Amino acid sequence: MELYILDDQFRRVEVFEKYESLIWAERFNSLGDFRLTVQATDENRKILLEGVRLALRGSWRVMEIETVQDSTDSEGKAILTATGPSLEYLLTQRVVRYSLSDTLDTKWVISDTAPATIARTIFENICVLGLLSSNDVIPYIDQDSTFFPTDTIDEPTDLIDYEMEPMTLYDAEKRLCDVYDMGFRLIRNYDESELWFDIYMGSDRTSQQTDYPAVIFSQGLDNLQNTSQLTTKTQYKNVAIVISPVGVRTVYAPDVSSSVSGFDRRVMVVTASDITDASSSVANARMDQRGAEALGQSRKFSGFDGEINQNAQYVYQVDYFLGDLVELRNTLGTKTVVKVTEQIFVSDKEGDRSYPTLEIRRFVTPGSWDDATADLVWDSAPSSNTWDDGL
Protein backbone atom coordinates (compact mmCIF):
# COMPACT_ATOMS: atom_id res chain seq x y z
CA MET A 1 0.00 0.00 0.00
CA GLU A 2 1.33 3.41 -0.93
CA LEU A 3 1.44 5.70 2.10
CA TYR A 4 2.10 9.40 1.52
CA ILE A 5 3.46 12.20 3.66
CA LEU A 6 1.47 15.41 3.12
CA ASP A 7 2.63 18.99 3.36
CA ASP A 8 0.76 21.78 5.16
CA GLN A 9 -1.48 22.25 2.10
CA PHE A 10 -2.46 18.56 1.98
CA ARG A 11 -0.31 17.81 -1.06
CA ARG A 12 1.72 14.63 -1.37
CA VAL A 13 5.42 15.31 -0.92
CA GLU A 14 6.84 11.86 -0.24
CA VAL A 15 5.99 8.18 -0.55
CA PHE A 16 6.66 6.36 2.71
CA GLU A 17 7.28 2.69 1.95
CA LYS A 18 9.64 1.29 4.54
CA TYR A 19 7.19 0.18 7.19
CA GLU A 20 6.67 -3.08 9.03
CA SER A 21 2.88 -2.86 9.25
CA LEU A 22 0.02 -0.46 8.70
CA ILE A 23 -3.60 -0.59 9.88
CA TRP A 24 -5.78 2.18 8.45
CA ALA A 25 -9.49 2.40 9.37
CA GLU A 26 -12.03 4.89 8.04
CA ARG A 27 -15.58 5.04 9.35
CA PHE A 28 -19.09 6.11 8.35
CA ASN A 29 -19.96 8.44 11.22
CA SER A 30 -17.14 8.35 13.73
CA LEU A 31 -13.42 9.02 13.90
CA GLY A 32 -11.11 6.86 11.86
CA ASP A 33 -7.61 5.99 13.02
CA PHE A 34 -4.35 4.37 11.96
CA ARG A 35 -1.40 2.48 13.43
CA LEU A 36 1.97 2.49 11.65
CA THR A 37 4.95 0.40 12.78
CA VAL A 38 8.44 1.04 11.36
CA GLN A 39 12.05 0.39 12.26
CA ALA A 40 13.31 2.91 14.81
CA THR A 41 15.92 4.60 12.64
CA ASP A 42 17.05 8.22 12.89
CA GLU A 43 15.57 8.86 9.44
CA ASN A 44 12.14 7.56 10.46
CA ARG A 45 12.24 9.54 13.71
CA LYS A 46 12.79 12.72 11.69
CA ILE A 47 9.89 11.97 9.33
CA LEU A 48 7.22 10.58 11.67
CA LEU A 49 6.67 13.52 13.96
CA GLU A 50 3.59 14.55 15.92
CA GLY A 51 1.34 16.61 13.65
CA VAL A 52 2.48 15.06 10.37
CA ARG A 53 -0.45 14.20 8.09
CA LEU A 54 -0.72 11.03 6.03
CA ALA A 55 -2.72 9.88 3.02
CA LEU A 56 -3.21 6.42 1.54
CA ARG A 57 -3.60 5.49 -2.09
CA GLY A 58 -7.23 4.60 -2.74
CA SER A 59 -8.54 6.72 0.12
CA TRP A 60 -9.72 10.35 0.40
CA ARG A 61 -9.31 10.43 4.17
CA VAL A 62 -6.42 12.10 5.97
CA MET A 63 -4.81 10.82 9.17
CA GLU A 64 -2.66 12.83 11.55
CA ILE A 65 0.12 11.52 13.76
CA GLU A 66 -0.84 12.18 17.36
CA THR A 67 1.41 9.78 19.26
CA VAL A 68 4.86 8.35 18.51
CA GLN A 69 6.21 5.53 20.68
CA ASP A 70 9.80 4.29 20.61
CA SER A 71 10.07 0.74 21.98
CA THR A 72 11.57 -2.72 21.61
CA ASP A 73 9.58 -5.69 20.33
CA SER A 74 9.66 -9.29 21.63
CA GLU A 75 12.66 -10.07 19.41
CA GLY A 76 14.68 -7.17 20.78
CA LYS A 77 14.28 -5.05 17.65
CA ALA A 78 13.85 -1.29 18.09
CA ILE A 79 10.55 -0.17 16.59
CA LEU A 80 8.72 3.09 16.18
CA THR A 81 4.92 3.12 16.37
CA ALA A 82 2.91 6.11 15.14
CA THR A 83 -0.83 6.36 15.82
CA GLY A 84 -3.48 8.99 15.38
CA PRO A 85 -7.01 9.88 14.29
CA SER A 86 -8.56 10.84 10.99
CA LEU A 87 -8.93 14.53 10.16
CA GLU A 88 -12.46 14.58 11.57
CA TYR A 89 -10.72 14.93 14.95
CA LEU A 90 -10.77 18.69 14.24
CA LEU A 91 -14.47 18.58 15.15
CA THR A 92 -13.46 17.53 18.67
CA GLN A 93 -11.43 20.74 18.90
CA ARG A 94 -14.36 23.07 18.20
CA VAL A 95 -17.13 24.09 20.62
CA VAL A 96 -20.81 24.35 19.69
CA ARG A 97 -22.51 27.38 21.19
CA TYR A 98 -24.58 30.13 19.66
CA SER A 99 -22.64 32.92 21.35
CA LEU A 100 -19.70 33.37 23.68
CA SER A 101 -21.08 36.62 25.05
CA ASP A 102 -24.57 35.49 26.13
CA THR A 103 -24.16 34.06 29.63
CA LEU A 104 -27.88 33.60 30.32
CA ASP A 105 -28.90 31.25 27.52
CA THR A 106 -26.18 28.68 26.94
CA LYS A 107 -28.29 26.44 24.72
CA TRP A 108 -28.24 26.59 20.91
CA VAL A 109 -31.56 25.51 19.42
CA ILE A 110 -32.19 25.01 15.71
CA SER A 111 -35.94 24.63 15.19
CA ASP A 112 -38.22 23.07 12.60
CA THR A 113 -35.35 21.90 10.39
CA ALA A 114 -34.40 18.59 8.73
CA PRO A 115 -31.58 16.69 10.52
CA ALA A 116 -29.10 16.77 7.61
CA THR A 117 -29.60 20.51 7.22
CA ILE A 118 -28.95 20.97 10.94
CA ALA A 119 -25.74 18.93 10.71
CA ARG A 120 -24.48 21.04 7.82
CA THR A 121 -25.57 24.29 9.45
CA ILE A 122 -23.68 23.81 12.71
CA PHE A 123 -20.49 22.86 10.85
CA GLU A 124 -20.79 25.85 8.52
CA ASN A 125 -21.43 28.29 11.36
CA ILE A 126 -18.51 27.11 13.48
CA CYS A 127 -15.87 26.01 10.96
CA VAL A 128 -16.62 28.10 7.85
CA LEU A 129 -18.21 31.35 9.06
CA GLY A 130 -16.41 31.42 12.43
CA LEU A 131 -19.55 32.16 14.46
CA LEU A 132 -17.69 31.99 17.78
CA SER A 133 -14.21 32.94 16.56
CA SER A 134 -12.53 33.48 13.21
CA ASN A 135 -9.79 31.23 14.57
CA ASP A 136 -12.22 28.28 14.46
CA VAL A 137 -12.35 28.42 10.65
CA ILE A 138 -10.76 25.33 9.08
CA PRO A 139 -8.44 26.28 6.19
CA TYR A 140 -9.00 25.01 2.65
CA ILE A 141 -12.69 24.16 3.19
CA ASP A 142 -14.69 23.96 -0.04
CA GLN A 143 -18.35 23.15 0.52
CA ASP A 144 -19.23 22.47 -3.13
CA SER A 145 -18.25 18.81 -3.06
CA THR A 146 -19.45 16.76 -6.02
CA PHE A 147 -16.79 14.14 -5.56
CA PHE A 148 -18.96 11.16 -4.72
CA PRO A 149 -21.86 9.47 -6.55
CA THR A 150 -25.28 10.85 -5.71
CA ASP A 151 -26.75 9.07 -2.68
CA THR A 152 -29.86 7.03 -3.38
CA ILE A 153 -30.80 6.64 0.29
CA ASP A 154 -33.01 9.63 1.10
CA GLU A 155 -32.11 12.03 3.85
CA PRO A 156 -34.62 12.06 6.74
CA THR A 157 -37.41 14.55 6.11
CA ASP A 158 -38.59 15.00 9.72
CA LEU A 159 -38.53 18.62 10.82
CA ILE A 160 -37.09 18.64 14.31
CA ASP A 161 -35.91 20.98 17.05
CA TYR A 162 -32.29 20.19 17.90
CA GLU A 163 -30.98 21.48 21.23
CA MET A 164 -27.28 21.72 21.94
CA GLU A 165 -25.81 22.49 25.32
CA PRO A 166 -22.17 23.65 25.05
CA MET A 167 -20.36 20.60 23.69
CA THR A 168 -17.81 19.71 21.05
CA LEU A 169 -18.85 19.98 17.43
CA TYR A 170 -17.96 16.30 17.04
CA ASP A 171 -20.41 15.28 19.79
CA ALA A 172 -23.15 17.47 18.31
CA GLU A 173 -22.68 15.96 14.85
CA LYS A 174 -22.35 12.38 16.04
CA ARG A 175 -25.35 12.49 18.36
CA LEU A 176 -27.55 13.71 15.51
CA CYS A 177 -26.07 11.36 12.91
CA ASP A 178 -26.44 8.32 15.16
CA VAL A 179 -30.15 8.95 15.59
CA TYR A 180 -30.87 9.45 11.88
CA ASP A 181 -28.30 7.03 10.41
CA MET A 182 -26.35 9.79 8.65
CA GLY A 183 -22.62 9.88 8.02
CA PHE A 184 -20.11 12.73 8.16
CA ARG A 185 -16.64 13.05 6.67
CA LEU A 186 -13.88 15.60 6.22
CA ILE A 187 -11.91 14.57 3.16
CA ARG A 188 -9.04 15.71 0.97
CA ASN A 189 -9.47 16.52 -2.72
CA TYR A 190 -6.25 14.86 -3.85
CA ASP A 191 -3.46 17.47 -4.23
CA GLU A 192 -5.77 20.44 -4.84
CA SER A 193 -5.34 21.89 -1.33
CA GLU A 194 -9.08 21.51 -0.75
CA LEU A 195 -10.98 19.88 2.07
CA TRP A 196 -14.62 18.87 1.79
CA PHE A 197 -17.07 18.32 4.63
CA ASP A 198 -20.03 16.09 3.79
CA ILE A 199 -23.17 14.88 5.49
CA TYR A 200 -24.14 11.79 3.54
CA MET A 201 -26.50 8.81 3.57
CA GLY A 202 -24.96 6.26 1.20
CA SER A 203 -26.68 4.35 -1.58
CA ASP A 204 -28.71 1.20 -1.87
CA ARG A 205 -26.60 -1.37 -3.72
CA THR A 206 -28.67 -4.44 -2.86
CA SER A 207 -30.50 -6.58 -5.39
CA GLN A 208 -33.72 -4.72 -4.54
CA GLN A 209 -32.78 -1.64 -6.58
CA THR A 210 -31.77 -0.81 -10.16
CA ASP A 211 -29.74 2.40 -9.76
CA TYR A 212 -26.44 0.57 -9.30
CA PRO A 213 -25.13 -2.96 -9.90
CA ALA A 214 -25.88 -5.09 -6.85
CA VAL A 215 -23.02 -5.71 -4.41
CA ILE A 216 -23.37 -9.16 -2.86
CA PHE A 217 -20.83 -10.63 -0.46
CA SER A 218 -20.91 -14.37 0.08
CA GLN A 219 -18.46 -17.14 0.80
CA GLY A 220 -20.34 -19.06 -1.86
CA LEU A 221 -19.37 -16.42 -4.41
CA ASP A 222 -15.74 -16.69 -3.30
CA ASN A 223 -15.44 -12.99 -2.49
CA LEU A 224 -15.55 -13.14 1.30
CA GLN A 225 -13.37 -15.04 3.74
CA ASN A 226 -12.27 -15.11 7.39
CA THR A 227 -15.68 -13.94 8.55
CA SER A 228 -16.84 -13.13 12.08
CA GLN A 229 -20.06 -11.74 13.47
CA LEU A 230 -20.88 -9.95 16.72
CA THR A 231 -24.38 -9.32 17.98
CA THR A 232 -25.08 -7.66 21.32
CA LYS A 233 -27.94 -5.92 23.10
CA THR A 234 -25.97 -4.96 26.20
CA GLN A 235 -26.85 -1.27 25.86
CA TYR A 236 -30.17 -1.81 24.09
CA LYS A 237 -33.26 0.11 25.24
CA ASN A 238 -36.55 0.39 23.37
CA VAL A 239 -38.62 2.60 25.69
CA ALA A 240 -37.60 6.00 27.06
CA ILE A 241 -39.51 7.59 29.93
CA VAL A 242 -38.76 11.30 29.59
CA ILE A 243 -39.40 13.24 32.80
CA SER A 244 -39.53 17.04 32.89
CA PRO A 245 -40.97 19.64 35.31
CA VAL A 246 -44.00 20.03 33.03
CA GLY A 247 -44.82 16.42 32.29
CA VAL A 248 -43.79 12.90 31.38
CA ARG A 249 -43.62 11.32 27.92
CA THR A 250 -43.10 7.71 26.88
CA VAL A 251 -41.09 7.40 23.68
CA TYR A 252 -40.65 4.14 21.75
CA ALA A 253 -37.81 3.00 19.51
CA PRO A 254 -38.71 2.91 15.79
CA ASP A 255 -38.48 -0.89 15.67
CA VAL A 256 -41.04 -1.60 18.42
CA SER A 257 -44.71 -0.86 18.98
CA SER A 258 -46.23 0.93 21.96
CA SER A 259 -47.46 -2.45 23.18
CA VAL A 260 -43.97 -3.87 23.75
CA SER A 261 -44.08 -5.69 27.08
CA GLY A 262 -42.73 -8.46 29.27
CA PHE A 263 -39.22 -9.68 28.53
CA ASP A 264 -39.07 -7.59 25.37
CA ARG A 265 -39.58 -4.28 27.17
CA ARG A 266 -36.28 -2.49 27.99
CA VAL A 267 -36.84 0.89 29.63
CA MET A 268 -34.53 3.85 30.23
CA VAL A 269 -35.19 7.08 32.15
CA VAL A 270 -34.30 10.42 30.58
CA THR A 271 -34.25 13.45 32.87
CA ALA A 272 -35.16 16.66 31.04
CA SER A 273 -35.15 19.22 33.83
CA ASP A 274 -34.52 22.02 31.33
CA ILE A 275 -37.83 21.52 29.49
CA THR A 276 -40.23 23.94 31.16
CA ASP A 277 -42.29 25.27 28.23
CA ALA A 278 -45.77 26.52 29.16
CA SER A 279 -47.16 25.22 25.88
CA SER A 280 -47.86 21.50 26.25
CA SER A 281 -47.45 20.88 22.52
CA VAL A 282 -43.99 22.47 22.49
CA ALA A 283 -42.94 20.66 25.67
CA ASN A 284 -44.19 17.32 24.36
CA ALA A 285 -42.35 17.75 21.07
CA ARG A 286 -39.13 18.58 22.90
CA MET A 287 -39.50 15.59 25.23
CA ASP A 288 -40.23 13.28 22.29
CA GLN A 289 -37.08 14.48 20.53
CA ARG A 290 -35.02 14.06 23.69
CA GLY A 291 -36.29 10.50 24.06
CA ALA A 292 -35.56 9.68 20.41
CA GLU A 293 -31.99 10.95 20.80
CA ALA A 294 -31.45 8.83 23.92
CA LEU A 295 -32.83 5.70 22.24
CA GLY A 296 -30.62 6.38 19.23
CA GLN A 297 -27.62 5.94 21.52
CA SER A 298 -28.98 2.66 22.92
CA ARG A 299 -29.57 0.42 19.94
CA LYS A 300 -28.80 -3.23 19.43
CA PHE A 301 -25.57 -3.82 17.57
CA SER A 302 -25.04 -6.53 15.01
CA GLY A 303 -21.75 -6.29 13.20
CA PHE A 304 -20.08 -8.45 10.59
CA ASP A 305 -16.41 -8.49 9.64
CA GLY A 306 -15.22 -10.28 6.57
CA GLU A 307 -12.01 -10.09 4.61
CA ILE A 308 -12.62 -9.44 0.93
CA ASN A 309 -10.75 -11.71 -1.41
CA GLN A 310 -8.12 -9.57 -3.12
CA ASN A 311 -9.28 -10.92 -6.46
CA ALA A 312 -12.92 -10.08 -5.71
CA GLN A 313 -14.93 -8.11 -8.24
CA TYR A 314 -15.88 -5.38 -5.76
CA VAL A 315 -13.50 -2.48 -5.15
CA TYR A 316 -13.97 -0.05 -2.27
CA GLN A 317 -14.86 3.48 -3.46
CA VAL A 318 -15.54 2.13 -6.93
CA ASP A 319 -18.28 -0.45 -6.42
CA TYR A 320 -19.29 0.48 -2.87
CA PHE A 321 -18.69 3.30 -0.38
CA LEU A 322 -19.08 3.93 3.33
CA GLY A 323 -22.76 4.25 4.19
CA ASP A 324 -23.94 2.02 1.35
CA LEU A 325 -26.40 -0.82 1.84
CA VAL A 326 -25.10 -4.09 0.41
CA GLU A 327 -26.08 -7.76 0.74
CA LEU A 328 -24.68 -10.70 2.62
CA ARG A 329 -25.76 -14.20 1.65
CA ASN A 330 -25.10 -17.35 3.60
CA THR A 331 -24.79 -20.87 2.27
CA LEU A 332 -28.56 -21.37 2.63
CA GLY A 333 -29.29 -18.39 0.39
CA THR A 334 -30.63 -16.16 3.17
CA LYS A 335 -30.05 -12.49 2.41
CA THR A 336 -29.08 -9.92 5.00
CA VAL A 337 -29.10 -6.20 4.23
CA VAL A 338 -26.05 -4.58 5.81
CA LYS A 339 -24.56 -1.10 5.95
CA VAL A 340 -20.88 -0.46 5.28
CA THR A 341 -19.80 1.42 8.41
CA GLU A 342 -16.04 0.95 8.29
CA GLN A 343 -13.31 0.03 5.82
CA ILE A 344 -10.00 -1.28 7.14
CA PHE A 345 -6.75 -1.49 5.19
CA VAL A 346 -3.97 -3.75 6.47
CA SER A 347 -0.43 -4.09 5.18
CA ASP A 348 2.11 -6.34 6.92
CA LYS A 349 4.41 -9.28 6.28
CA GLU A 350 1.42 -11.33 5.11
CA GLY A 351 0.66 -8.84 2.33
CA ASP A 352 -1.93 -6.17 1.59
CA ARG A 353 -5.63 -6.65 2.23
CA SER A 354 -8.74 -4.67 3.03
CA TYR A 355 -12.15 -5.51 4.42
CA PRO A 356 -15.36 -3.79 5.49
CA THR A 357 -17.26 -3.81 8.74
CA LEU A 358 -20.93 -4.37 7.96
CA GLU A 359 -23.74 -3.55 10.38
CA ILE A 360 -26.93 -5.52 9.92
CA ARG A 361 -29.98 -3.46 8.99
CA ARG A 362 -32.50 -6.23 8.24
CA PHE A 363 -32.79 -9.93 7.52
CA VAL A 364 -34.59 -11.09 4.38
CA THR A 365 -36.66 -14.26 4.69
CA PRO A 366 -36.50 -16.56 1.65
CA GLY A 367 -39.79 -16.44 -0.25
CA SER A 368 -40.81 -13.05 1.14
CA TRP A 369 -41.41 -9.86 -0.82
CA ASP A 370 -37.91 -8.64 0.05
CA ASP A 371 -36.43 -11.83 -1.35
CA ALA A 372 -37.45 -10.96 -4.91
CA THR A 373 -35.08 -9.20 -7.27
CA ALA A 374 -35.96 -5.68 -8.31
CA ASP A 375 -36.79 -6.43 -11.95
CA LEU A 376 -39.53 -8.97 -11.24
CA VAL A 377 -43.27 -8.44 -10.83
CA TRP A 378 -45.72 -10.17 -8.52
CA ASP A 379 -48.00 -12.51 -10.44
CA SER A 380 -51.52 -11.10 -10.61
CA ALA A 381 -53.17 -14.35 -9.52
CA PRO A 382 -54.59 -13.54 -6.04
CA SER A 383 -53.57 -16.82 -4.43
CA SER A 384 -50.20 -17.20 -6.18
CA ASN A 385 -46.87 -17.10 -4.41
CA THR A 386 -44.72 -17.37 -7.51
CA TRP A 387 -42.71 -14.79 -9.38
CA ASP A 388 -43.29 -13.93 -13.04
CA ASP A 389 -40.48 -12.69 -15.27
CA GLY A 390 -42.96 -11.06 -17.64
CA LEU A 391 -43.00 -7.32 -18.26
38/81 Cα distance (integer angstroms): 6
Q: Is the pLDDT of residue 365 over 80?
A: no
Beta-bridge mates of residue 83: 35, 67
Listed by start position, the domains of the chain span 3-85, 91-200, 216-227+318-371, 239-296
Fold of 91-200: Phage tail protein beta-alpha-beta fold (3.55.50)
Q: What is the predicted pLDDT for the residue at 146?
A: 65
Q: Transcribe 215-253 into DSSP letters.
A: -EEEGGGTSEEEEEEEEE-TT---EEEEEETTEEEEEE-
**Mean pLDDT in residue range 155-177:** 93
For the question of whether the overall pTM of this predicted structure is more than 0.85, the answer is no
Q: Is the pLDDT of residue 351 over 80?
A: yes
Amino acid 345 reads F
User: Which contacts of 328-331 are long-range, i.e. CB under 8 A and separated by 24 or more positions?
Assistant: 328/216, 328/217, 328/218, 328/224, 328/304, 328/358, 329/216, 329/217, 329/218, 329/220, 329/221, 330/218, 330/219, 331/219, 331/220
Average pLDDT, the chain: 86
Q: pLDDT tens, 294-349?
A: 998 888 776 555 566 666 678 899 999 999 999 987 665 667 888 999 999 999 98
* Number of residues that this document lists for the chain: 391
Q: pLDDT tens, 172-215?
A: 999 999 989 999 999 999 899 999 999 999 999 999 899 999 99
Q: pLDDT tens, 20-63?
A: 999 999 999 999 999 999 999 999 999 999 999 999 998 999 99
